[in-house]
Copies of this chain bind each other. A is one copy, B any other.
Amino acid sequence: MLRSYAMTEDRQISIALPTIRRLPMYVAVLEKALQDGQTHASSSQIAGALGLESIQVRKDLAAVGVVGQPGVGFPVGELIAAIEKSLGWDNASDAFVIGAGHLGTALAGYRGFARYGLNIVALFDSDPAKVGQTVHGKKILPMEKFADLVARLHVRIAILTVPAEAATESAALAAEAGIKALWNFTPTKLAPIDGVIVERVDLAASLAVLSSRLASLVGASGATRAQAADEPESEV
């Protein structure tokens, strides 16, 4: 029974990436189940809520080390705890935002991150006009203070929202300051940096999937759009 909380690090490393990407969805569903007073949830119930196959849910949950009960399902609370442990969401991590522009301030104000164990502490910007301002209760500080504060506060995560051209330079600066993980929102593909994990949020990739599916849809059953495409487009 306690094997579900086993902490052998080697297993955590070996969880398949697609599985890791799905884990947050499970947490969301399970928390809803918990609120409804459920102590257990079956793989088919979870799968149904997420549009997945139950077998995949079982495999994913097996990967985080929780054992279910035949005829009953998986223990909800235990499951949430195990997933959050796998993801390192069990104790919150502080993070700095580099680039207090539109996206950076939006992220800094996003309350949803608290649930993911992410705590944005402050923003940094090279623009003197922005430094000193406060957004969503968080200060915008000058880049000069970055390295010092990373060390003092033991911040490991930096969120990169600078212009594309400044990305490489900012990443190098962050790495040198001791940042261990970079969440890169810029379209710049960073070269690997020794000892630094880089995860990129690639909106272009996401949009590519959307628009290519849309394009092939038009091509396939063109009837729907064909008529509209003939009419001239007007402006607002």
Contacts and interface: CB of A to CB of B under 8 A. Distances in A.
Interface of A: 9, 12-13, 15, 17, 20-25, 28, 49-51, 86-89, 93-94, 102-103, 105-106, 109-110, 112-113, 116-118, 121-122, 139, 149, 152-154, 156-157, 164, 180-181, 183, 187, 189, 191-192, 197, 199-220, 225, 228-229, 231, 233-236
Query: How many identical subunits does the complex contain?
Result: 2
A185 B201 CA distance: 12
A47 to B, nearest CB: 12
Given A13-B220, A88-B211, A212-B88, A206 B183 contact: yes
B189 A207 contact: no
Contact of A183 (B93, B110, B207, B216): B207
A118 B212 CA distance: 12
Given A102-B109, A180-B214, A21 B87 contact: no
Contact of A213 (B181, B200, B208, B234): B181
Given A51-B192, A110-B102, A154-B231, A197 B183 contact: no
Contacts of A87: 208, 211-212, 215
B181 A197 contact: no
Contacts of A234: 152-153
A84 to B, nearest CB: 10
Contacts of A233: 94, 153-154
B199 A210 contact: yes
Contacts of A25: 189, 204-205
Contacts of A28: 187, 189, 204
Nearest to A192: B51
28 contacts: A12-B212, A12-B216, A12-B219, A13-B220, A15-B212, A20-B205, A20-B208, A21-B205, A24-B205, A24-B208, A28-B187, A28-B204, A51-B189, A86-B215, A89-B211, A93-B211, A105-B106, A116-B204, A139-B236, A152-B234, A153-B234, A154-B233, A180-B225, A181-B210, A181-B211, A197-B210, A197-B217, A201-B206
